[in-house]
Chain A
């Protein structure tokens, strides 16, 4: 009697375990493909880069080498005999380019997004948004080449300046090669990432409750006060999300600084390229610089997730 009871109990236990397994395996089966993808093409390569970055001056033809922090020390440690401040300068310049183009995108993008979300005629809104993000449909490479044809010595900009000088007597505007300068990089980065900024700000501003703006006016706030005390705080998550996205992508962008920037506008992405495919071929140092870039960008993403509006990022 007791044996049969325990047997049935055992069977019950068996069913429970099978059930639990199914509960666990179901989600795993769904996560599987994406998980394997991430593991193979993101986690493993990153670990590989980390591994290489810990071998000082590893070159592609080397079989292996002793582990050490030599690559990082070269970048950060001023007491290292092989320390060269040029790396920190390059990192700093990349941060500077990214910061300036982020601010430029915000200043240029906010009025556009505000107009699209609040003031534009409702039935034109979707069309206008699509029109604005249309440049994203062509590759960033092509768009940078377009800028080359504008900024080069015989380009559109100089043609325009010459035409203007001829038109107005007494005024002689100087023409110059606008290409291969920091200004060209700023223009290129801002132009490339402005649509992303507008899109994210638009998503945020579109959700703004107009009656809040009316309430502020009703309580005596003039348009400027309403903007700073209500509109900006209400859309702050969107502003944060837009800025971080533009900052991160500008930081890592390779095409614009390579095509539009000159020798004096070396950025971290170009430096990494040189270490791997350029003349220096120092994979160890390149990997270390990559890890620094990955960490900096991860930090920005962490900030984005903590303070940014996840919804507007998703919508964009």
Chain B
């Protein structure tokens, strides 16, 4: 996974102007609440992703920013101006649609020129801008084709160019790579990232693909059920999730739920119903007087051995129930003696060959796992 954040951007992020602000925004469709009172601040020039499972309200959030939906309550501020009730055609944002939404009665060139033509731009500067946009997305050769004559990846590029050519304050991308196959998606990820760095425009992308969000974004908002669970850099989200949902949704994890037996600033002792005692680091936002907690431990942090490891920490006996070979890694399911099952990732070179009857030890350091408020 390549980290595309340039240090300059992430360091100066808090000193920059907010480009998009959502204050206490909620959106209901009849009985259903799609977005439930969220607050969001997106900085100028940032690559911001809204990540979540389908139906979590991420697309509705994007549509609220674009102006296709009006918030039920709350305010939407774009570049310092309140825009909550402003119709889409008067907002300085442009959208790349999941379905591309290209005008199939116009050529590629006319599709891209649409926004400029509406603004009443003169012929020659418009042609220049369209040519620049075509070059930017490497589609010069296709300017006179119709959308029906293009492949999915090419349509994607035209959709990007059609939005970019207007030089919007904010680019909104709704699952921009969702309809592409894996290889093309990887290529377009790199191109999106390059475009963002080249243009310095704020990008707001909606995706359900956590890898895409982690590799492209400066910051990510993880949404679930209409709420924002956590906002942070990809590293923060992955290493320091603040809720069990985020821990589970971003990457793989093992969640162990239990009662807090002991707590101080550095360490929590949690007793699971099965009787396992787990030592864990408390997460940053954890309240002091917590009764129950969930421990999240990443599969790659768990170590398997035949002898109990010398260092103090979490160590449990069990046996390997199932092993899957995944090329670089082995994916193991370890059954603990107390009854819980853990997912463990081991590098292939360790060459696990224990029979399912051999007793083994699964261990990890308290600093390698995180206790979260349940």
Answer yes or no: are A and B bound together in one complex.
yes
Name A's B-contacting residues (CB within 8 A): 209, 211-212, 214-223, 225-226, 229-230, 233-234, 236
Most chain B CB within 10 A, of A219, A220, A236, is at A219
Q: For window 99-129 of chain B, which residues contact chain A by CB distance below 8 Å?
A: 99, 101-105, 114-115, 118-119
Contact between chains at A214 and B114 (CB < 8 Å): no
The 4 closest A-B pairs by CB, nearest first: A219-B115, A215-B101, A211-B101, A217-B88
* Contact B166–A215 (Cβ < 8 Å): no
Closest to A222 in B: B89
Give which listed residue, A218, A225, A230, contacts B103 with CB less than 8 A.
Answer: A230
Chain A: CB-nearest residue to B91: A218
| A169 CB, min distance to chain B CBs, angstroms | 46
**Using a CB–CB distance below 8 Å, which chain B residues touch chain A?**
66-68, 87-90, 93-95, 97, 99, 101-105, 114-115, 118-119, 162-163, 166
- Do residues A225 and B118 form an inter-chain contact, with CB atoms below 8 A? yes
* Of the residues B90, B93, B97, B119, contact of A215 by C-beta under 8 Å: B97
Q: Is the CB of B118 within 8 A of A211?
A: no
Closest to B162 in A: A219
Chain A residues near B87 (CB-CB < 8 A): 217
**B115 and A209 within 8 A (CB):** no
Closest chain-A Cβ to B115's Cβ sits at a distance in Å of: 4
Chain A residues closer than 8 Å to B103, beta-carbon distance: 212, 215-216, 230, 233-234
Residue of A whose beta carbon sits closest to that of B113: A219
B94-A218 in contact (CB<8A): yes
Asked whether B95 lies within 8 Å of A215 as measured between CB atoms, the reply is: yes
Would you call A214 and B115 a contact (CB within 8 A)? no
Known: A218-B88, A220-B119, A221-B89. A234 touches B105 (CB 8 A): yes
**Residue in contact with A217 in the complex, picked from B67, B104, B163, B166, CB distance below 8 Å:** B67
Please name 16 pairs of A and B residues whose Cβ atoms are closer than 8 Å in the assembled complex, sorted by A: A214-B68, A214-B95, A214-B101, A217-B68, A217-B88, A218-B67, A218-B93, A219-B166, A220-B118, A221-B114, A221-B118, A222-B89, A226-B89, A229-B114, A234-B105, A236-B105
CB distance from B370 to the nearest CB of A (A): 41
CB-defined contacts of B67 to chain A, threshold 8 Å: 217-218
Tell me the smallest distance from the CB of B110 to a CB of chain A, in Å: 10
User: Please, which residues of chain B bring their CB within 8 A of the CB of A236?
Assistant: 105
Majority secondary structure of chain A interface residues (helix, strand, loop or mixed):
helix
- Shortest Cβ distance from A221 into B: residue: B118
Please give me the residue from chain A that is nearest to B93 by CB atom: A218
Question: Which of B93, B114, B119 sits near A216, CB closer than 8 Å?
Answer: B114
A209 — which chain B residues lie within 8 A by C-beta?
99, 101
CB-CB under 8 A from A223, the residues of chain B are: 89
Query: Within the complex, which residue of A211, A218, A225, A229 is in contact with B99, where a contact is CB–CB below 8 Å?
Result: A211
Complex Cα distance, B102 from A255, in Å, reads 46
Contact between A214 and B97, CB atoms less than 8 A apart:
yes
- State how many angstroms separate the Cβ of A244 from the closest Cβ of chain B: 20
- Provide the residues of chain A in CB contact with B99, threshold 8 Å: 209, 211
CB-based contact A218/B105 at 8 Å: no
Given contacts A215-B103, A230-B103, contact A220 B97 (CB under 8 A): no
Q: Which residue of A lies closest to B114 (CB)?
A: A219
- Chain A residues with Cβ below 8 Å from B163 are 218-219
Interface residue from A216, A220, A222, A233 paired with B166 (Cβ < 8 Å) = A220
CA distance A229 to B88 in the complex (A): 17
**Residues on the B chain within 8 Å of A219, using CB:** 89, 94, 114-115, 118, 162-163, 166
| In the bound complex, CA of A226 to CA of B114 (Å) | 11
* Known A217-B87, A220-B119, A226-B89; 16 more pairs at CB < 8 Å: A211-B97, A214-B95, A214-B101, A215-B97, A218-B89, A218-B94, A219-B114, A219-B115, A219-B118, A219-B162, A221-B89, A221-B114, A221-B118, A222-B89, A230-B103, A234-B104
Contact A220 B101 (CB under 8 A): no
Q: How far is the CB of B164 from chain A (nearest CB, A)?
A: 12
List A contacts of B115 (CB < 8 A): 219-220
Tell me which residues across on chain B come within 8 A of A216, comparing CB atoms: 89, 103, 114
CA distance A209 to B99 in the complex (A): 10
How far apart are the CA atoms of A206 and B193 in the complex, in Å? 38
Write the chain A residue with the least CB distance to B112.
A219
- Residues in A with CB closer than 8 Å to B90 are 220
The distance from the CB of B93 to the nearest CB of chain A, in whole angstroms, is 8
Q: Which of A212, A218, A229 contacts B66 (CB 8 A)?
A: A218
Chain B residues with CB under 8 A of A215: 95, 97, 101-103, 162
Contact A233 B105 (CB under 8 A): yes
Residues of B within 8 A of A212 (CB): 101, 103
Q: What's the nearest-Cβ distance from chain A to residue B95, in Å?
A: 5
Set of chain B residues within 8 Å of A234, measured between Cβ atoms: 103-105
Residue of A nearest to B165 (CB): A219
Nearest to A215 among chain B residues (CB) is B101
User: Which of B66, B101, B104, B163 has the most A CB atoms < 10 Å from its CB?
Assistant: B101
Distance in angstroms from B160 CB to nearest chain A CB is 13
Chain B residues whose C-beta falls within 8 Å of the C-beta of A225 in the assembled complex: 118
In whole Å, how far is B240's beta carbon from the nearest beta carbon of chain A?
Answer: 36
Which B residue's beta carbon lies closest to that of A232? B105
- A218 pairs with B95, CB closer than 8 A: yes
